[in-house]
Amino acid sequence: MVADVTDETVKTYQADRLKDKAAPKSINDEVGFLLRVLGEQGDFLRIKLRRSRSLKLSSRHQVARAYTSEEKAMLLTGAKARRSRTIYPALMLALHAGMRDAEMRGLQWGRVDLRKAIVTVGDSKTEAGQGRTIPLNGDVLAALEEYFRGIWKSSANLAPNGTCFRLANRSQRIRPGPLRHSKLSGRP
């Protein structure tokens, strides 16, 4: 019943959800939805909870950091040793071109020009990032050419709209964040 929802009820709910290991952001979203559903009573509860500083749970804000030269070298050495041919060129692209995870997963062969040594980004997180061209240095170009030759021998997935980096499932995401930040920070 609507009358049964009090600020103490909300605080108890927040504590119970934290015990269930729910993320603070998720709990804040749930409480916000509940207060909106309650209408005017929810507005009063929101004010009361805000005054007692209980309305929103604090959530961690993780700041990405750039990898050191040693960390990058270890990552690339490990990637070369892997059975998957995809990992090394994807990491090289992230490191040297500053491409995002989704940009690399969506990269199509028709957007890779090995002769001109450029990659054209398709869909991007930002409007400014969409359609931008990225010059490839010799290291990335060599990694992509080797990858291209390996795929050419074993697959017919080289249609211009075929994706460059095929991953078996969504859990195999490329996580280039720190590599991207290393590129953008200019850290060696």
Tell me the pLDDT tens digit for each residue of 24-57. 888 888 888 888 888 888 888 889 988 888 888 8
Q: What is the DSSP letter of 64?
A: P
Rounded Cα–Cα distance for residues 161 and 170 (Å): 20
Name the band, by pLDDT with cuts 50, 70 and 90, for residue 138: very high
Q: How large is the average pLDDT for residues 77-104?
A: 82
Spatial contact of 99 and 134, defined as CB atoms under 8 Å apart: yes
Spatial contact of 144 and 95, defined as CB atoms under 8 Å apart: no
Report percent pLDDT > 70 for the chain.
74
CA distances from 165 to 58, 87, 107, 117 (A): 37, 8, 7, 18
More confident residue, 160 or 106: 106
The pLDDT of residue 3: 62
| b/e 116-154 (16+ beta carbons within 10 angstroms → b) | ebebebbebeeeeeeeeebebeeebbebbeebbeebeee
Question: 69-185, superfamily in CATH?
Answer: Intergrase catalytic core (1.10.443.10)
Report percent pLDDT > 90 for the chain.
6
More confident residue, 128 or 84: 84
The pLDDT of residue 184: 45
Q: How large is the average pLDDT for residues 139-162?
A: 74
The pLDDT of residue 101: 75
Q: How large is the average pLDDT for residues 127-156?
A: 80
CA 59 to chain centre: 18
For the beta carbon of residue 97, count every other beta carbon within 10 angstroms: 21
State the Cα torsion 142-143-144-149 to the nearest 10°. Answer: 90
Name the band, by pLDDT with cuts 50, 70 and 90, for residue 75: confident
Q: With CA atoms as reference, report the closest residue to 144 among 185, 184, 100, 104.
A: 104
> Where along the chain do its domains lie?
2-51, 69-185
More confident residue, 57 or 158: 57
The pLDDT of residue 36: 86
The pLDDT of residue 157: 52
pLDDT digits (tens, 9 = 90+) for 2-12: 568 888 888 99
Spatial contact of 100 and 126, defined as CB atoms under 8 Å apart: no
As a whole number of Å, the CA-based R_g of the chain is 24
Is 129's pLDDT higher than 60?
yes
